[in-house]
């Protein structure tokens, strides 16, 4: 086993600037740390690891994922980057003979405490951070934070520490298998990517450390009981202790700023931290790369892939068999893209009788859920559900 701790994040190319900020913050704390970039995309031009804070780049094609084109297509870009985390842990453990592996979301920054995290993995096999560690007191915070955690998962999987002990590997093999098959953003169906699965972990596995200290995974969802003080120059503290790592979750969509204004009014240094983070991302290529599209967001003819097209392919095992590479469009007589145009898109309502898009999406989602429930049974009801799908848009 290698003695150095290994760290990684999983991204598409537009998140490279954020990953650079994260990796640099880790290297600053521990120059011996090994940082691996797991990339579900193609590398930008002129990208060279010699000039990067990454020790290696592992592309999705190198991960142990069977039937990769079909598997990728079934996932949105966010679902894909989340689902590869389990296989990536396994690949890093295998490739680098790593004993201690940490995952951080790309929108995180580490400020202190890596040595303490490594010591925790000497004592435990799995490290988890809950979204909240203190009950909320106001109605609004219960809705914003506690109910949100009930939907998305008790533990925030923007961070996960793992030691490749027998119990650590038992957890990892279970979690990776679930992510390969069931890593979807489907809250109504009981799933939220990788997070809801780990709600089960304390019941299934021993040797788990639940890190309740307020210095870990600080984010807007736990600021009601965590007060930041200090400065960027002198160091930021949380409830009087040095901040270990901060999570800028919801940054690009605007939610981070909204919730920071709502719950961070007693921690003005966090607004300075946000400004610093924006500047650091810009310095590391945000303007050039931040809006770069993912290669898996389109068919090979350049047409964007709709969520509905992914959902329907995901639910139909016969389509997965017929079109093992659903990205391919060259053969107009035998491609998923053309099949969908012929069998689904043409049965959408005409301009004179169009329904709101939200209604159409709801209809397709209803069909998708029923397909998901029965696809493994291959029951006689399958043809009835297909008929329902056909008529849903007429």
393, 344 contact by CB (below 8 A): yes
pLDDT tens for 141-198 read 999 999 999 999 999 999 999 999 999 999 999 999 999 999 999 998 999 999 999 9
In the numeric block, the tokens 């600037």 are attached to: 17
Between the alpha carbon of residue 179 and those of residues 111, 118, 263, 315, 330, the distances in Å are 30, 26, 33, 16, 31
Predicted local confidence at residue 48, as pLDDT: 78
Per-10-residue mean pLDDT, the chain, length 394: 87 97 97 97 86 95 96 97 98 97 98 96 98 95 94 97 98 98 93 96 97 97 96 96 96 92 95 97 96 96 95 92 97 94 68 48 58 48 47 45
Nearest to 271 by CA among 259, 286, 283, 282: 259
| Torsion angles phi and psi, residue 20, rounded to 5 | -65, -40
Site of tokens 């329904």: 355
pLDDT of residue 51: 85
Arithmetic mean of pLDDT over the chain:
90
CATH code: domain 6-288 is 3.90.550.10
pLDDT at position 179, please?
97
Question: Any residues with CB less than 8 A from the CB of 194 and at least 6 apart, and which?
Answer: 82, 83, 85, 86, 157, 175, 179, 183
The pLDDT value recorded for residue 47 is 85
Please state the pTM of the whole predicted model.
Answer: 0.88
User: Looking at residue 370, what is its pLDDT?
Assistant: 57
- Name the segment(s) of the chain with CATH classification 3.90.550.10: 6-288
Q: Which residue has the tokens 């709502």?
A: 262
Torsion-angle region of 384 (φ positive above 0: left; ψ -120 to 50: alpha; else: beta): alpha
pLDDT of residue 379: 43
Measure the CA–CA gap between 200 and 171, rounded to whole angstroms.
Answer: 11
Helices then strands, counting H and E runs in the chain, come out as: 18, 14
The b-or-e profile of 98-133 (16+ CB within 10 A means b, else e) is bbbbbbbbbbbbbbbbbeebbebbeebbbbbbbbbb
Looking up tokens 């202790």 gives 241
Beta bridge partners of 103: 8, 160
Predicted local distance difference test score (pLDDT) of residue 369: 57
3-state secondary structure of 322: helix
Residue 310: which H helix or E strand, with range? helix 307-315
| 16 touches 34 (CB < 8 A) | no
Per-residue model confidence as pLDDT tens digits over 45-73? 888 777 899 999 999 999 999 999 999 99
């Amino acid at each position: 086993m290698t003695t150095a701790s290994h760290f990684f994040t999983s991204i598409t190319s537009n998140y490279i600037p954020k990953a650079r900020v994260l990796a640099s913050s880790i290297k600053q704390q521990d120059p011996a740390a090994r940082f691996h970039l797991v990339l579900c995309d193609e590398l930008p031009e002129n990208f060279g690891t010699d000039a990067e804070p990454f020790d290696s780049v592992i592309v999705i094609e190198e991960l142990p994922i069977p039937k990769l084109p079909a598997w990728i297509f079934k996932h949105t870009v966010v679902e894909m980057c989340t689902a590869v985390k389990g296989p990536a842990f396994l690949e890093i453990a295998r490739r680098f003979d790593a004993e201690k592996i940490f995952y951080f979301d790309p929108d995180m920054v580490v400020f202190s405490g890596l040595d303490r995290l490594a010591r925790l993995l000497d004592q435990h096999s799995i490290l988890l951070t809950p979204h909240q560690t203190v009950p909320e007191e106001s109605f609004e915070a219960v809705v914003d934070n506690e109910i949100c955690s009930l939907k998305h998962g008790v533990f925030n999987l923007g961070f996960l520490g793992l030691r490749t002990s027998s119990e650590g590997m038992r957890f990892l093999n279970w979690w990776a298998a679930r992510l390969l098959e069931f890593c979807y953003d489907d809250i109504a169906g009981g799933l939220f990517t990788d997070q809801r699965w780990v709600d089960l972990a304390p019941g299934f596995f021993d040797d788990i450390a639940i890190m309740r200290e307020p210095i870990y995974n600080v984010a807007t969802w736990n600021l009601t009981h965590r007060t930041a003080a200090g400065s960027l120059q002198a160091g930021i503290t949380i409830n009087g202790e040095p901040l270990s790592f901060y999570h800028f979750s919801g940054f690009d969509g605007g939610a981070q700023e909204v919730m920071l204004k709502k719950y961070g009014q007693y921690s003005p240094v966090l607004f300075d931290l946000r400004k610093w983070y924006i500047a650091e991302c810009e310095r590391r290529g945000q303007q050039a790369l931040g809006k770069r599209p993912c290669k898996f967001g389109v068919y090979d003819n350049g047409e964007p892939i709709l969520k509905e097209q992914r959902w329907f392919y995901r639910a139909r095992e016969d389509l997965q068999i017929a079109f093992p590479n659903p990205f391919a469009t060259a053969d107009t007589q035998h491609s998923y893209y053309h099949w969908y145009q012929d069998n689904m898109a043409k049965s959408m309502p005409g301009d004179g009788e169009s329904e709101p898009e939200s209604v159409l999406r709801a209809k397709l989602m209803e069909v998708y859920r029923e397909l998901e429930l029965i696809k493994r049974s291959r029951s006689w009801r399958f043809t009835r559900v297909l008929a329902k799908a056909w008529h849903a848009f007429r």
